[in-house]
Amino acid sequence: MQRRTFLQGLAAAGVLGCVPFSLAQAASVVGSVSVESLPKLEGDLTLYLGRGEGGLYENVLDAIKKRNPKLNLKIRRGGSAALANTIVAETKAGVKRADLFWAVDTGSIGMVTDSGAAKPLPASITNQLKPGFQYPSWSPVTGRVRTLPYNTERVTPEQIPDSVMALADSDLKIGWAPAYSSFQSFVTAMRVLEGEKATRMWLKGINRNAKKYAGELGVVMGVERGEVDIGFANHYYTLRLKSGKPDANVALAYTNNDAGCLVNASGIVALSDGDLPVNFIRYLLTHEVQSYLAREAYEIPMVQDVAAPEGLASLTSLSPPELDLRKLADLRPTLNMMRDVGVL
């Protein structure tokens, strides 16, 4: 869907009017709601927005503002981790400048919730979310799963181990992006799940046979070109590449019950009380917004009844590890380890 079409769709919803939104009714909703059922947003809001998804989040915000002309939305943009640090510092100083924080990773969300800055969310929001992604003080917006993109001409699926830890001892040539935030969150998950010693040994093993890239899109492109056999990347980089090049020599493999198939999420936190921040979050969980991000960003919708992006294995067929995603906020030991091992 093009940006203009999406904006027109939400604007049309405004023309059709607004059905009053009952919190009691919403609490029993299992799936997503339509933007047409939400109340108008009126008043001042300041959103701290982590950069991400090539401007698609900005398109969503433009649509929300267009439908709600009495909403005065001020946006501060930056890296998710940097904005999280700012919110923590402001909280300690007793200063509140942001009403909402939309981050591209749960590590940054965890920093904010651990600081006590997050406000609790009503059950009418959390009940819309898929099982396993319901949190009392923040809402996932979209998900992404760690995958192993592999070159279909150089590797067969049978050659790929179902344990990410086993790749450190394989003969496969591997592409990775150690400086990329998503990869560092993945290593943090490994450190939490497997322990520091095992993670350190894994990093050393991978580093012996790996090619570095600046980002995970570069990893996937390197895999497709045959520069490496396999790589580490979030799922949507491969799906985006194949959407523009359907015959690309790349496919996705998944590991089993370890950090290699971690399901992470972008998320939003309310930092001030009142209905306005909460109702803003409702817009991000509507059928229209969730469908748009699934279709255009190839991200995983977090509400119950929106289709996942084409080409991705269903979440029910995957075996991600059980992990409180907020633990990914503990990034400093990971960075120290990666520097000590020599991969950063």
Q: Per the annotation, where are the binding residues for Fe cation? A: 236-237
Q: What residues does 146 pair with on adjacent strands?
A: 234
Binding-site residues sit at 236-237
Q: How far apart are CA 330 and CA 102, in angstroms?
A: 19
Pick from 6, 4, 69, 5: which is nearest to 290 by CA? 6
User: From the CB of residue 199, how many other CB atoms can be counted at a distance below 10 Å?
Assistant: 24
Residues 6 or more apart in contact with residue 142 via CB below 8 angstroms: 265, 266, 290, 293, 294, 297, 299, 300, 301, 302
The C-alpha atoms of residue 336 and residue 331 are separated, in whole angstroms, by 9
d(CA 250, CA 148): 10
The label of the residue with tokens 């991400």 reads 52
Strand partners, 115: none
Smallest Cα–Cα separation from 251: which of 120, 318, 341, 156? 156
Alpha-carbon gap, residue 43 to 41, rounded angstroms: 7
20's tokens: 């009053």
Q: Kindly tell me the burial class for residue 319, based on how many C-beta atoms sit within 10 Å of its own C-beta (0-12, 13-18, 19 or more).
A: exposed
Residues constituting the chain: 344
